[in-house]
Structure 1
C-alpha cells in the first residue's frame, strides 16, 4: 500500500542517499521548482547524499550547465548520473557499430564528443542511414511531431538489421506546459515494428549501476535499503526502483497529475486506481517534491 506523505522530511531519516529525477521533480524544463530545491538542500544538511539521476541524453557536464540556467543551485545535489553518459559509454565501446545514423536534433551534437573516460574508445562516425551499422537516437528530429513520421527510416533500418541505441527511454516530457516527444517513443515504435532497441536510462539497470558508481566515487558505500528513488515517471522512476529493489517516492503532480487528480496532493482513490492500472506500487507518494 502506497503511503501519501506531506514532505520529504517526513521520511528522509530512513535514507542515506537519494536518486532524484530532474524533469518534473526539480525543474519543469524551464525553471527550478523552489520547494523541491529547498527540500533537497534540507536533506543534504542532514547528511543525505543526493544523486540526480536523469534520462537526459546529454553528458552530465551539459546537464550541469542546464541546471545552472534553470536556477538549480549546486548545494541541492552532490553528483549527476545521466542516461546520456551511460549510453555514450556503450556507443564508444562499439555496441551499435562504428558508423551510425543519428536521429536527434543539432543541440545533441555533444553526445558524440570524444569520451576520455574509456580506454581505447572506438571511433564513431555519423553517416547516412543507407551506410550505417547502427542507429543512435537522442530524440526525434522534431520533438513536436508524432514519432510515426519516422516509420519509413525505421522500416529500412529494420530490414538492414540495425540496432537502435536509445539515449533517453522517456516517452514524453513536459517543458513548462508543453508536452514533447522523447527518444523512448522512437525506440518503442522501432521495437513494435520488430527492430531491436537498446536502453541505458531508467528503468534499465545501466543507469543505476552508474548512479552507484557516482556514489562510490564520493566515498559513499550505501546499501540499497538506504536509498530512496524519487520521480514522476511510473514506468521509468518507479519501475526502475522496483527492479533495483529500492524504495521510491512517486511525484504524482508531474506526468500523472491528471490520472491521480493531483492539485496539492493526489486524491487517494485516484492514486490507488492508477497504481492498480499500471501494476506499479511506489513506497510513498506526494503531489510535488517539497
Structure 2
C-alpha cells in the first residue's frame, strides 16, 4: 500500500536527486504550477538535483523553450532528459534505416537536427511510406483523431516488415482541459496489429540511462537508492521507476485524477480507497502518493 503524503518535503531528505515528470506534475500544457515550482526550488536549495525526465519527442533545447513558455523558471531544475533525445540517438544509429516515413507535423522538425552524441551517424532521409525502410513516429497527424485512422498505412508497413520508432511512449496527455493522443497510442496500435515498435522514453530503460548521464554531467555521483522518480503516469513514470529499481512518488491529480478522486477544489488529495483500487488494477505500488506536487 502506498503512503499518502502532504508534501514532498516529508520525504525529500531521503534523496539527493529527483527524476521529475513535466506534463501533469510541473505544468498542464498551458501553465505551470507554483506549488510544484516551490517544492523543487526547496529541494535544490538543500543541495538536491532535479532532472526533468519527459516523454516529449523534442530535443532538450526545444523542451527548454516549451517549459519557459508555460512559465517554468530555470531555477527549479538542473537538467533535462527527453524521450526525443533517446529516440534521436537510436535513429541516427540506424535502428530503422536511413529512409524513414515520418508521422508528425512541423513542430517535430527539431527531432531531425544533427546530434553530436552519436559517432558516425547515418544520413536520415524523410520519404513517402512506399519508399521507407522504417517509420519515425513523433506525434499523430491529428492528435484528436482515433489512432485507428492510421490502420491502412500501418497494414502496408507491417506487410513490408517496417519497424516503428516511437519518440514519445505516452498514450495521452491533458492539454489544459483537453485530453489528446500521443505517439505512444500509435505505437501501441502498430504492435497490436503485429508490427514491431521501438521505445526509448518512460517506462523503458534508455531514458533512465540518459537521466543518470545528465546527473553525472552535473558532477553528482548519486546512488540509485538516493534517487526518487516523480510522475503522474502509472504505466510510464511509476512502472519505469519500478523497472529501474528507483523509488517513486505518484502524482494522482494528473492523468488519474478522476479514478483516484483527486479534486483540486476540495482537499487536493486522492481518496485512499479509490487509490488502492486504482493501483491494484495497475498491479503497481509506488512508494508514496500525493494529489499534486507541492
Query: What's the TM-score bracket when you normalise by the shorter of the two chains?
Result: over 0.9
Structure 2: distance between partners of 1:10 and 1:166: 36
TM-score by length of 1: 0.99
**CA drift at 1:115:** 1.2
What secondary structure, in the 3-state scheme, does the structure 1 residue paired with 2:257 have?
A: coil
Number of the residue aligned with 2:143: 143
Number of the residue aligned with 2:275: 271
Number of the residue aligned with 1:112: 112
2:67 is the alignment partner of 1:63 = no
Structure 1: distance between partners of 2:43 and 2:119: 37
State the number of aligned residues: 290
Number of the residue aligned with 1:152: 152
> 1:237-256 residue pairs with structure 2 within 5 A?
237-256=237-256
What secondary structure, in the 3-state scheme, does the structure 2 residue paired with 1:259 have?
A: helix
2:285 is the alignment partner of 1:281 = yes
> 1:84-103 residue pairs with structure 2 within 5 A?
84-103=84-103
Runs of 4+ in structure 1 displaced over 3 angstroms? none
What secondary structure, in the 3-state scheme, does the structure 2 residue paired with 1:101 have?
A: strand
Structure 2: distance between partners of 1:196 and 1:100: 15
Structure 1: distance between partners of 2:138 and 2:224: 30
Could you list the runs of 5+ residues in structure 2 that have no partner in the other structure?
none
Number of the residue aligned with 1:164: 164
What secondary structure, in the 3-state scheme, does the structure 2 residue paired with 1:158 have?
A: helix
How far does the alpha carbon of each residue in 1:173-219 deviate from its partner, in whole angstroms, 9 at most, with x for none? Answer: 00000001000000000000000000000000000000000011111
**CA drift at 1:39:** 0.6
Contact 1:97 1:134 in 2 (8 A): yes
Number of the residue aligned with 2:77: 77
Structure 2: distance between partners of 1:16 and 1:247: 12
Structure 2: distance between partners of 1:32 and 1:14: 26
Structure 1: distance between partners of 2:72 and 2:207: 22
**CA drift at 1:31:** 1.0
Structure 2: distance between partners of 1:227 and 1:114: 31
TM-score by length of 2: 0.98
Number of the residue aligned with 2:257: 257
Contact 1:105 1:142 in 2 (8 A): no
Number of the residue aligned with 2:215: 215
Contact 1:86 1:200 in 2 (8 A): yes
Structure 1: distance between partners of 2:284 and 2:274: 14
Could you list the runs of 5+ residues in structure 1 that have no partner in the other structure?
none
Contact 1:260 1:270 in 2 (8 A): yes
Number of the residue aligned with 1:176: 176
What secondary structure, in the 3-state scheme, does the structure 2 residue paired with 1:222 have?
A: coil
Structure 2: distance between partners of 1:259 and 1:224: 30
